[in-house]
Copies of this chain bind each other. A is one copy, B any other.
Amino acid sequence: MLKLSTKGQYGVRAMFEVAKGYPDRPVSIKEIARRQEVSVAYLEQILSTLRRAGLISSVRGPGGGYLLTHGPAHISIAVILRELEGPVSIASCMDPEEGCHRVEGCVTHTLWRSLGEKIDAFLSTITLDDLLKDERLLMDAAEHDRIVTIKRAAAGQGG
């Protein structure tokens, strides 16, 4: 339950690759596709959405690619997912576009809203910068052959 679509998942991973080029090296779709094992055509759709949302900008022509418009520490996972999949809406009646015709008398309404807010709050605290740091940790740990420490670090990452 509560699955994220591949669009959202790939989107985060793509943004992570773009973040690696921050602040000035454009990262091409081809490079992202190779590193993250996702098709170029599918990534085009995803990155196009993120560009229109203003999270990244594009540079055309040879040597071109995508650039973060803000520092990695200022782009949260919540923002990326919201652009690709819309706002968190556990029950469809919570979606601002639809609305709920039986809010009063509906005992689950506040429950879903609380859960949604919790999820949103958590994803808002994690940024691309955290993912970059995590990767450094991961590589570090692999070198020293003590993977275990990462898990502890990751577990403590949300408040």
How far apart sit A12 and B9, CA to CA, in the bound complex (Å)? 28
**A114 interfacial by beta-carbon distance below 8 Å:** yes
How far apart sit A91 and B91, CA to CA, in the bound complex (Å)? 19
Which residue of chain B has its CB nearest to the CB of A115?
B122
Which residue of chain B has its CB nearest to the CB of A101?
B37
| Chain B hits for A116, CB < 8 A | 2
Q: How many residues from A make CB contacts under 8 Å with B?
A: 52
| Chain B hits for A8, CB < 8 A | 1
With known contacts A107-B131, A107-B135, A126-B111, A1–B118 Cβ distance under 8 A: no
Give the number of copies in the complex: 2
How far apart sit A3 and B8, CA to CA, in the bound complex (Å)? 13
- What is the 8 Å Cβ interface bit string for chain A, positions 131-155, against chain B (1 contact, 0 not)? 1001100100010000100110011
**A22 interfacial by beta-carbon distance below 8 Å:** no
Which residue of chain B has its CB nearest to the CB of A85?
B1
**A66 interfacial by beta-carbon distance below 8 Å:** no
Most buried by B among A108, A116, A142: A108
With known contacts A107-B135, A131-B108, A138-B104, A158–B1 Cβ distance under 8 A: no
